[in-house]
Structure 1
Amino acid sequence: MTPPRASRPTGSASTTRRKVPVRRAVVIGGGISGLASAALLARDGYAVTLLEQRTQLGGRAGSWERDGFRFDTGPSWYLMPEVFDHFFQLLGTTAAEQLDLVTLDPGYRVYSEGHDEPLDLRADKEQNIALFESVEPGAGERIRKYLDSAEETYAMAVRRFLYTSFQDLRKLAAPDVLRRLPKLLRLLTEPLAKYAETAVRDRRLWQVLGYPAVFLGTSPYQAPSMYHLMSHLDLADGVQYPKGGIHEIITAIGRLARAEGAQVIAGAKVERILVEDGHVTGVVHRDRDGGQHVAPADLVVSAADLRHTELQLLGPEHRTYPAKHWQKRDPGPSAVLVYLGVDGPVPGLLHHTLVFTADWHANFGAIFGKDRHVPDPASIYVCAPSETDSTVAPPGSSNLFVLVPLPADVSIGKGGIDGAGDFEVERIADRAIDVIAERAGVPDLRDRIRVRRTIGPQDFADDLNAWSGSMLGPAHTLRQSAFFREPNRSRKVDGLYYVGASTTPGIGLPMCLISAEVLLKRIHGDTSTEPLPTPLVRDAAV
């Protein structure tokens, strides 16, 4: 599905653009949202400097190599392909030109506790409808209606809710929104878990409809059923994969940002944002040798964790969101990640494999409930890119990325290489490896591991300044979605803006790409709700 393209608003937006005096922009953070912002701002005419504290770009979407194995360190699903393509079109190119994309079919496999045989979800909507019908007679037509609703809701979200800063809520009172208002109110107030029950009763199928809540940093019991739109993405649109791994997206956007003229500096740790008379004037940072520098700026964009930006990079008088604000917010889940280089095949796995426990109330309650603790047993996710891509592992070997969702709690600890992480992190990893061995039918899996590295919640906090060690960003509960999410501009400091998972529209690679476009619209006073026309035309006034 291609997002609808809007013409630039007449009148106010173009007039406002001529008045913007900003010429120098500093972007804090070299994750996907920071790089995308740098690329768009540079194309728009700004002199852009991007500062990334780590030596590698990508943030959560990094890459790690050892002994011929190359691992994506974070995101591994390529969903919403039209969002990526639209972003590349803004810069005068396409996703097809920048990435080598393949469609996964089956898109993913699901093992559910209590059932020996997995379910394989295909790249075709009709095949998935047939699968649902074969598992639960009568579910086929109900899931068709469910997916039709998901498609309609997704199109509405793209047209009205994703590409906007919510500066002008009157824009949401469009005729197409008002016509659907009764249904939208239900979708906003009814949990996804309950809404999924309108389509299926079989627990395995219900879990297929509910698991996308984890992509949103929450549980199906807390996510608004508006997010049933996610099922359109994997059950109807299908799942793709960029050869070389998800980090290839970072490489492409970084390449384009530099081509547009942005200066990208790695190993530059930002210490504070300078403010004079209520306006940003620059950013103080240290280089790899400890030398202190000031990057002057008329505009600063923080792609770092918003809580970190507010509480660590700004003085108390300049904070829009002080410490007490975050006491009422939900940081989303954390995880233990495990990167495994394995001798030989792991035949029970596909490129994407989900292993679900039977008792989701207990599993999600442990992660998101009042008494948060490490779930045991835990549902896990496994990515085996070597099933699709021969470049990510030596010949005859398997590359496994394992994710175990946990509560955001840094006391769980840090990971390490070859079992050197903290005890609890390694225990969780061992348990997940045993589950994979059992489900995949590989009893000697442990003995075949050549490379092992773990990541724990404390690593997310230390390496990414993530709030409470969150792996994704603030959860998409109703109170933290759409116009309830923290907006992308400081209320206390002129010229200070935010992008990335902490702000609108939310978490995930596509949302972070959109946040860069919403930033540009915000700067120029563009209150439209639709994607910008492509390609982006440089603003001569800037």
Structure 2
Amino acid sequence: MSHTKRKTALIIGSGFGGLSLGIRLQSLGFDTTILEKLDAPGGRAYQKRTQGGYVFDMGPTVITVPHFIEELFALERDKGMLAEPDYPEHVLTGERVREGESGGPRTREYVRLVPILPFYRIYFDDGTFFDYDGDPESTRRQIQVLAPGDLAGYERFHADAEAIFKRGFLELGYTHFGDLPTMLRVVPDLLKLDAVRTLFSFTSRYFESPKLRQVFSFEPLLVGGNPLSVPAIYAMIHFVEKTWGIHYAMGGTGELVRAFVRKFEELGGRIRYGAEVEEVLVTDDRGRPVRRPVGKRVARGVRLTGGEELSADLVVSNGDWANTYLKMVPPQARLVNTDLRVRAAKQSMSLLVVYFGFRDDGQPLDLRHHNIILGPRYEELLREIFGDRVLGVDFSQYLHVPTLTDPSLAPPGHHAAYTLIPVPHNGSGLNWEVEGPRLVERVFDFLEERGYIPGLRARLTHREFITPDYFEGTLGAYLGNAFGPEPILAQSAYFRPHNRSEDVRNLYLVGAGAQPGGGTPSVMMSAKMTARLIAHDFGIHPEIRDGVPEGAGAAD
């Protein structure tokens, strides 16, 4: 690079978005410091270790698109690689996933990824199940048993979901929708693909069986979306998983977080823990305080709780979008992301997550690594969580038992598990100090009485849980949301928070709250999109316009 003085960057938060962007900024030649409120990295992907020898990933457990990870580990200091690498065909098609090869050669220097099959076992309330593994032949065989009349519908769904995947993910995945013209250019394609109707409505066109409608629409719940509300473009998740598989980092997702930290520090980056940001420092273009939301506004650094001020050429928030603006950016510096607009946005659901350890006792578990346990109601329960914001008489859950793959997460002869229950965010007014323990007991009763973990209570050796209060208090998420703004059509693409602040120059966003949205692959994509914007704004790659290299992206 020709710059004589290195530019400096501050990133608020060390989640996957902050770490991925930190690695990219170091490769672009910035001196980057990540400021983390907690005592260890990860944010929502924080990993907890107990005195009893259990290891719990507190957040994401599903890893897909391993070549995104490989790309980050392959970056070098000051190289500035932002174009798409020339991936071998087998990487783009995922053909080696079933051979047990996860990740590329650089990834294997930092962390061991292994494929998980089936991706999920989906249990229905009547005791039947569907092993979702992405294999069309296996899928056809199971449909033949569950609902043979839907076989033809599956073929049509498969073809149409693939078309959405190719356009929405492979071609438009890194497009930053920073203006309306960029958005309007893709609308005809989305309409042609029928990708703007709701996912559940889209899925219902192909399947008569309620069970299959659930199998092929539940996945947005893993990124905070309501299948009854998210646009059908989320059908692409089916093909993302089918193409590249589901993977697990040995040692837990926390091992991948630590691997990213190691890479970031090898490139010269720095992380400060226990460094909570209180305010983004904003001035006018002459360095004077901003008194009203007009004129030029520039981010100059941050103030930490306790009063310490840090200056930088740019600031990026990997924190919650709503609270970044409501709590960190002064109101007099905000003309677009005003209090009124931010508070009016719909936030995603929240979660109650129970972390527990139990003795093996020689009793085999008829479970898989990832288990989706659906309750007796699907549409009604979703409406209660997202619309009515009440706790229903029943619940669905995602039960994660990583020790079936990786016994190192528990003491010998024990299992570590967590089960995740979608619940309303704190706009519900629910008192989680009362409702939390009650729901936990209901969950333990269910898992034992329905035979998922026989004799569970007698075998328990560790138990703890988090509620929306954890997301609101510890993680700083507005209303205790678990995934940022809800991914409805009116909050997608151009209408989702922008990765380059519309209010303050040199202020950027990255992560689940920004474009393209939630989920570990999308968060890593968000980091590349934000890095491209920064590279353009700071003259490192002037050919990049609004996050897309010239001749690529939305205009194609």
1:95 aligns with 2:107: yes
1:253-264 equivalences under 5 Å are: 253-264=260-271
Change (3 A) 1:236 1:27: closer
TM-fit CA distance, 1:530: 6.3
SS of 1:60 mapped into structure 2 = helix
Give the whole-Å Cα distance in 2 for the aligned partners of 1:474 and 1:178.
Answer: 21
For 1:529 and 1:491, the matched residues in 2 are separated by 14
The equivalent of 2:308 in structure 1 is: 293
CA drift of 1:34 comes to 1.0
Match of 2:378 in 1: 360
Counterparts of 1:306-455 in structure 2, within 5 Å, are: 306-319=321-334, 320-344=336-360, 345=363, 347-369=365-387, 371-409=388-426, 411-413=429-431, 422-455=433-466
Deviation, structure 1 residue 18: 8.0
Shift of 1:171: 5.6
Deviation at 1:96, TM superposition (A): 3.8
When residues 20 and 219 of structure 1 are mapped into structure 2, their CA distance, relative to the original with a 3 A threshold, is: farther
**In the alignment, is the contact (CA less than 8 A) between 1:33 and 1:499 conserved in 2?**
yes
Query: How far is 1:478 from its partner?
Result: 0.2
**2:274 counterpart of 1:274:** no
Alignment partners' CA distance in 2, 1:192 and 1:86: 31
**Aligned CA distance change for structure 1 residues 529 and 516 (closer, same or farther; 3 Å):** closer
SS in 2 for 1:309: helix
Quick one: which of 50, 61, 67 aligns to 1:82?
67
Among all aligned residue pairs of Structure 1 and Structure 2, give the percentage whose two residues are the same amino acid: 30
The whole-number CA distance in structure 2 between the counterparts of 1:22 and 1:470 is 37
Q: 1:139 to 1:237 in 2, by over 3 A?
A: farther
Q: Is the 8 A contact 2:183 2:493 kept in 1?
A: no
Distance apart, 1:529 and its partner CA: 6.8
| Contact in 1 for aligned 2:353/2:420 (Cα 8 Å) | yes
Cα deviation 1:454-509 (Å, max 9, x = unaligned): 10101111111101101111111001111110111222221111111111111111
2:44 counterpart of 1:60: yes
3-state SS in 2 of match to 1:187: coil
Q: 1:172 to 1:86 in 2, by over 3 A?
A: farther
Q: Which amino acid aligns with 2:154?
A: I
2:226 alignment counterpart: 219
Distance 1:251 1:76 in 2: 15
SS state at 1:446 partner: helix
- List runs of 5+ in structure 1 lacking aligned partners: 1-16, 415-421, 534-542
Larger mean Cα displacement after TM superposition, 435-444 or 335-344: 435-444
**Aligned equivalents of 1:530 and 1:134: distance in 2?**
46
Match of 1:104 among 112, 116, 120: 116
Give the superposition deviation at 1:91: 4.9
Matched, 1:35 2:35: no
Q: CA deviation at 1:123?
A: 4.9
Aligned partner of 2:289 in structure 1 is none
- Contact 1:130 / 1:140 at 8 angstroms: preserved in 2? no
Tell me the secondary structure at the aligned position of residue 424 of structure 1.
helix
Relative to structure 1, is the Cα distance of residues 200 and 236 closer, same or farther in structure 2, using a 3 angstrom cutoff?
A: farther
Q: Distance in 2 between matches of 1:68 and 1:532?
A: 52
Match in the other structure for 1:417: none
CA contact (8 A) 1:124 1:237 kept: no
Does 2:463 match 1:479?
Answer: no
Name the TM-score, length of structure 1 as normaliser: 0.86
Tell me: CA distance 1:342–1:173, structure 2 relative to 1, closer, same or farther (3 Å): same
Give the conservation status (yes or no) of the 8 Å contact 2:511–2:523: yes
Say whether 1:506 aligns with 2:517.
yes
1:251 corresponding residue in structure 2: 258
| Residue 474 (structure 2) aligns with | 463
- Give the Cα–Cα distance (whole angstroms) in 1 for the partners of residues 459 and 76 of structure 2: 45
Q: Is the 8 A contact 1:29 1:51 kept in 2?
A: yes
Q: Shift of residue 214 of structure 1? A: 0.6
**1:183 match:** 192
For the Cα contact (< 8 Å) 1:346–1:442, is it kept in 2?
no
Cross-structure match for 1:202: 209
SS at match of 1:440: coil
**Structure 2 unaligned residues grouped into runs of 5+:** 78-104, 285-296, 537-543, 552-556
Name the aligned partner's letter for residue 65 of structure 2.
Answer: M
Contact 2:376–2:394 (CA under 8 A) maintained in structure 1: no
Deviations 1:68-101 (A, max 9, x none): 1101001111123333333334459743443312
CA distance in 2, matches of 1:434, 1:446: 8
User: 1:346, 1:440 within 8 Å by CA — same for their partners in 2?
Assistant: no
Structure 2 residue aligned with 1:9: none
Please give the secondary structure, in 2, of the residue aligned with 1:147.
helix
Aligned 8 A contact 1:282 1:294 in 2: yes
Whole-Å Cα distance in 1 between the matches of residues 179 and 127 of structure 2? Answer: 52
Counterpart AA for 2:359: D
Query: For 1:4-53, what per-residue CA distance to the aligned partner results, in whole angstroms no more than 9, with x for missing partners?
Result: xxxxxxxxxxxxx9899981111111111111111111111111111111
Which amino acid in structure 2 is aligned with residue 341 of structure 1? G
2:10 matched residue in structure 1 = 26
**1:305: Cα distance to partner?**
0.8
Provide closer, same or farther for how the CA distance between residues 213 and 18 of structure 1 changes in structure 2, counting only shifts above 3 A.
same
Shift of 1:147: 2.1
Deviations 1:107-143 (A, max 9, x none): 2211111x22322223523212221222211423422
Q: Which residue of 2 aligns with 1:8?
A: none
Cα separation, partners in 2 of 1:441 and 1:247, compared to 1, 3 Å: closer
Cα distance change on mapping 1:336 and 1:181 into 2, 3 Å: closer
Q: Distance in 2 between matches of 1:56 and 1:373?
A: 34
For 2:317, give the aligned amino acid: S
Q: Relative to 1, partners in 2 of residues 1:226 and 1:118: Cα closer, same or farther, differing over 3 Å?
A: same
> Retained in 1: the 8 A contact 2:313–2:506?
yes
Relative contact order higher in (CA < 8 Å, ≥ 6 apart): 1
The alpha-carbon distance between structure 1 residues 284 and 390, as it changes in their structure 2 partners (threshold 3 A), is: same
> Any conservation in 1 of the 2:12–2:319 contact (CA below 8 Å)?
yes
SS of 2:216's equivalent in the other structure is helix
> Is the contact between residue 123 and residue 237 of structure 1 (CA under 8 Å) also seen in structure 2?
no
What value does the CA root-mean-square deviation take over the aligned residues? Answer: 2.5
CA distance in 1, matches of 2:234, 2:550: 24
Q: Tell me the distance in 2 between the aligned counterparts of 1:407 and 1:488.
A: 27
The farther-off stretch of 201-210 and 330-339 is 201-210
8 Å contact from structure 2 (residues 114, 250) kept in 1? yes
